[in-house]
Chains A and B, each alone.
Chain A
Amino acid sequence: MQEYSTEKIKQISNEMRINIIKMLNCAGSGHPGGSLSCCDILSSLYFGGSFNFDPNDPKSKMRDRFILSKGHCAPALYALLSHIGWIEESELANLRKQGSILQGHPDCTKVPGIEVSTGSLGQGLSIGCGLAHALKLDYDKDAPNVFVLMGDGEIQEGQVWEAALFAKHYNLNNLIAIVDNNELQIDGNVLDVAGLDAIALKFASFGFKTLECDGHDIDALKEIYKVALIQDKPVCILAHTIKGKGVSFMENQAGWHGVAPNDEQAFQALSELGV
């Protein structure tokens, strides 16, 4: 995939945020906070020149793989896949509705471009480990890369650390864990809820190369993905983000983790996003 300009990627992020607000407003439920916080991570990944995929073939053999471990942020992924063209834009209005392919959490049996179903937190990194390992066995040095996006709250799940042990032990240098570090979870601040801190140090002690950046700085994200791909060990990118990014009244509010905007709130959010 060619590298898009920073300006173009910013436009895609904004379009994703607009679609997220519209989708959630239509659905009447869902998770805006974490969906908005990971838009720039996703757009910079798919269009920043580091992620290999064929827009005409979601199953292309040598594609890089992306796993949305924080499955509740499906609206962000749906918005991205819609931009690529793998989901009809008109389908976005059917999010979470009976009969729609757009389930509340990603269902790989229904939507092209979704590698595996997620929704129960903490499982994506293990799946990514198995997939990255298999790709290395199949293609050795030419193995496609596997990117796994997790929430910072999500890494409270013990399975994440089981997977981290595995990634180091099997030397999965084609595995890149991204933590959407928005510092909030449903019940409040991740520090207050579970004392989770020093995330980079934790991953480093498990044998990962850790990289940190502003998760809303497109240039920084583009650069960090390039750096991630030349490491000789598994990588953890800690992307510092703002939950609810782009909508003033949702930013840094744990209360907007899992509540959809009503018509009035959606109208205000969309006007802030330039609609």
Chain B
Amino acid sequence: MLYPYKNIDLPAKATREGYGETLVDLAKNGVNVYAVDADLSCSTTTAKLGKYEANRLVNVGISEQNMIGVAAGLALQNRIVFTGSFAVFGTGRCYDQIRNTVCYSKLNVKIAPTHSGVTVGPDGGSHQMLEDIALMRALPNMRVLVPADYYAAKAAVSIAAQNDGPFYIRLGRAKVPQVYTQDFSPRLGNAYVLKEGSDVTLAACGVEVDAALKAAEILESKGIYADVIDVFSIKPLDLETIVNSVSKTNALVTCEEHSVVGGLGSTLSEALSQCNPTRQLFIGVNDRFGVSGQPDGLLQKFGLDALSIAEKTIKFLNS
């Protein structure tokens, strides 16, 4: 659906900053939210909930598998439970627990670790989770949200709290440009058209939404007009918005700070191949691990910055 996007100049903020404070807001409003973290509550910001009310944060120590089990147990006793840790450990280390306990039992547990993607930065490849969307969206009963910025992250946490059952929310460590204002109130299952053009569809998620918007400006200066879509909800997917766009442009470029295996690009490709096969360029991390560096430098290295997206898009459209 069309969103009245305006280019505003707000200070950069990390999506994780929207996590703990939204949990506190929810708690203040009488929502029975709890958080379970694995010794990373300050990094993930779930510590804020514990500061608001000590019982609301359950720290399990460095034990991610136990974190999911404890979250499941709390959820069985009518709590809305958010989990922490870093995306690498909070999805991969405890995948079986998320699958067999949370999703199979359809429990009210929200998997919302932080530190996804290469923008983790200096910690390097061991800590830069690039397969989490693939892992989480493959699970039955799981919904997957990838917020583009701080305000989208706050909205994602609220949506997960309001809708019963398992969720995955992809959050990041680095401060990223803001796309939205506090008025942004996305819905589960919606994608948002932020810019309209007829030549190519740039579909992005997470930090890549801002990069795609900036790439679209570069393209515009060269006479190429792009639809820019924020695929905020990967699952369920707003296929209608995607199909409407690619029926017009006949060319799709997907941009994600995630492996090209199984992420946003795969999601759209799988869906479109069945109803509206579309020529597609997959921009993402090409089946490799990340490396140490600063977030902006790494986005450039992996070809995920605005200039790289614009250049690759021109090449793609000319091929």
Give the contacts of B57-86 with A (CB-CB under 8 A).
Answer: 58, 60-61, 63, 65-66, 68-79
Give the contacts of A15-56 with B (CB-CB under 8 A).
Answer: none
Q: Cα distance A135–B106 when bound, in Å?
A: 20
| Chain B residue total in the interface (Cβ 8 A) | 29
Q: How far is the CB of B139 from chain A (nearest CB, A)?
A: 14
Q: How far is the CB of B87 from chain A (nearest CB, A)?
A: 20
Residue of A119, A133, A138 most packed against chain B (CB within 10 A): A133
Residues of B within 8 A of A170 (CB): 58
**B97 interface residue per 8 A CB criterion:** yes
**B96 interface residue per 8 A CB criterion:** yes
- CB of B76 within 8 A of CB of A115, answer yes
- CB of B65 within 8 A of CB of A127, answer no
- CB of B105 within 8 A of CB of A166, answer no
Q: Cα distance A166–B63 when bound, in Å?
A: 10
Interface flags for B135-175 (1: CB within 8 Å of A; 0: not) read 00000000000000000000000000000000000000000
**B104 interface residue per 8 A CB criterion:** yes
- CB of A131 within 8 A of CB of B65, answer no
Q: Choose one: B68, B76, B79; the contact of A116 (CB below 8 Å).
A: B76
- CB of B69 within 8 A of CB of A120, answer no
Q: Choose one: B58, B78, B99, B106; the contact of A133 (CB below 8 Å).
A: B58
Q: How far is the CB of B157 from chain A (nearest CB, A)?
A: 20
Q: Cα distance A119–B103 when bound, in Å?
A: 13
Q: Cα distance A258–B65 when bound, in Å?
A: 27
- CB of A130 within 8 A of CB of B76, answer yes
Q: Cα distance A128–B77 when bound, in Å?
A: 11
Interface flags for A113-135 (1: CB within 8 Å of B; 0: not) read 00111111011111111111111
- CB of A166 within 8 A of CB of B106, answer no
Q: Cα distance A163–B61 when bound, in Å?
A: 10
Which of the four size classes fits the interface of chain A? 20 to 34
Name the residue of chain B whose CB is nearest to the CB of A146.
B73
Q: Choose one: A107, A163, A166; the contact of B104 (CB below 8 Å).
A: A107
Name the residue of chain B whose CB is nearest to the CB of A164.
B66
Interface flags for A54-66 (1: CB within 8 Å of B; 0: not) read 0000000000010
Name the residue of chain A whose CB is nearest to the CB of B73.
A130
Query: Knowing A116-B105, A117-B104 touch, does A127 contact B63 (C-beta < 8 A)?
Result: no
Q: How far is the CB of B217 from chain A (nearest CB, A)?
A: 48
Q: How far is the CB of B314 from chain A (nearest CB, A)?
A: 49
Interface of A is mostly: helix
- CB of B96 within 8 A of CB of A127, answer no
- CB of A134 within 8 A of CB of B65, answer no
Q: Choose one: B61, B68, B99, B105; the contact of A126 (CB below 8 Å).
A: B68
- CB of B69 within 8 A of CB of A133, answer no
Q: How far is the CB of A78 from chain B (nearest CB, A)?
A: 17
**A274 interface residue per 8 A CB criterion:** no
Q: Cα distance A201–B61 when bound, in Å?
A: 23
Residues of B within 8 A of A195 (CB): none
**B278 interface residue per 8 A CB criterion:** no
- CB of A137 within 8 A of CB of B73, answer no
20 sample A-B contacts, Cβ–Cβ < 8 Å, listed by A number: A116-B76, A117-B105, A118-B100, A119-B104, A120-B99, A123-B101, A126-B66, A126-B72, A129-B66, A129-B70, A130-B76, A131-B73, A133-B74, A134-B73, A134-B79, A137-B55, A159-B97, A162-B65, A163-B69, A165-B66
Residues of B within 8 A of A (CB): 36, 55, 58, 60-61, 63, 65-66, 68-79, 96-97, 99-101, 104-107
Top-10 shortest CB links A-B: A130-B73, A126-B69, A134-B77, A131-B73, A162-B63, A162-B66, A130-B70, A120-B100, A159-B65, A117-B105
Other than the given A128-B73, A129-B66, A130-B69, 6 more pairs (CB < 8 A) read A116-B76, A130-B77, A131-B73, A131-B74, A134-B77, A134-B78
